[in-house]
Amino acid sequence: MNNGRVMLAGLFLLVTVFVCKVEAMMNVTIKETGADSLVLQYLVREPQVKPAKHKAVILLHGVGSNEADLFALAEQLPPDYYIISARGPLTLGADRYAWYQVDFSTGKPVFNAQQEQSSRELIRRFMHQVKQKYQLAEVYLGGFSQGAIMSLSIGLTHPDEVQGVMALSGRLLEEVKPLVTASPALHQLKVFISHGTQDNTLPVTYAREAKAFLQPLQLPVSYHEYTGMGHQINASVLADLNGWLKQ
């Protein structure tokens, strides 16, 4: 009988600890399902410390991934930011989404321009909505691979809508370059670019080309190449990105 009571007491303690941990996590992480009328589904980690002003990092995933992918990095990013990870509007399969479709049959990526433009406007609407919802003073838009491409496209063509852009293993679309025009907002746009030298999906030459395009525009660009890194985000990228966000 005593053993039974001990087991029940132990079980109660385990359940209590589990519930407390879940409640603690819920105070940090909230999943939005679109019920609040935002145009994209997303995950958000609210600031873990009280910020002087409300700032957010908005993350865009790569093709075939979802909002949970980059959100896994949330706890490794600065605690005074909202970390918001959005889901692409195009469904490719179970839990697989994209911002636009890409054809690699020719050996080089050929993208669906109409889908890309549509997603670009959708992301801008989403940014406007989260700015209002969370009363954001600053927004940093970034992503990985296709998400990096979208971030560069939006940031460079609408620099008045973001404070900075983070392009992790992405590229700058040739079709976007003619849309980039010099302005005071563009000159103040902060840009972070990271790329692995062994990236076989989007070769590092894309990052170098983006850097070469941005240099004459006199933007504050923080450019990083990682020797031996493939198409990925590693600890060195996160360390450099955190340093950039804390500046």
CA distance 51 to 36: 24
Strand partners, 222: 192
CA distance 212 to 153: 16
Q: pLDDT in tens for each of the 247 residues of the chain? A: 444 443 333 433 333 333 333 333 334 455 554 446 899 999 999 999 988 899 999 999 999 999 999 999 999 999 999 999 999 999 999 999 999 998 878 877 788 999 999 999 999 999 999 999 999 999 999 999 999 999 999 999 999 999 999 999 999 999 999 999 999 999 999 999 999 999 999 999 999 999 999 999 999 999 999 999 999 999 999 999 999 999 9
Q: What is the pLDDT of residue 104?
A: 77
Residues 24 and 144 in one domain: no
Residues 67 and 90 in one domain: yes
Q: What is the pLDDT of residue 107?
A: 78
Residues 42 and 12 in one domain: no
Residues 15 and 65 in one domain: no
H/E stretch holding 21: helix 2-28
Residues 121 and 175 in one domain: yes
User: Taken in order 172, 68, 161, 164, is the CA torsion positive or negative?
Assistant: negative
Residues 137 and 91 in one domain: yes
| Strand bridging mode 221-226 / 190-196 | parallel
Q: What is the pLDDT of residue 110?
A: 82
Q: How many domains does the chain have?
A: 2
pTM value is 0.86
In the 8-state DSSP scheme, what is residue 144? E
CATH number at residue 239: 3.40.50.1820
Residues 94 and 22 in one domain: no
Ordered alpha helix ranges (H), 102-171: 113-134, 146-157
CA distance 201 to 243: 27
Domain that holds residue 94: 33-245
- Measure the CA dihedral 92/72/118/170, to 10°: -100
Residues 62 and 169 in one domain: yes
Residues 59 and 1 in one domain: no
CB atoms within 10 A of CB 161: 17
Q: What is the pLDDT of residue 25?
A: 38
Residues 165 and 177 in one domain: yes
Residues 20 and 78 in one domain: no
Residues 234 and 186 in one domain: yes
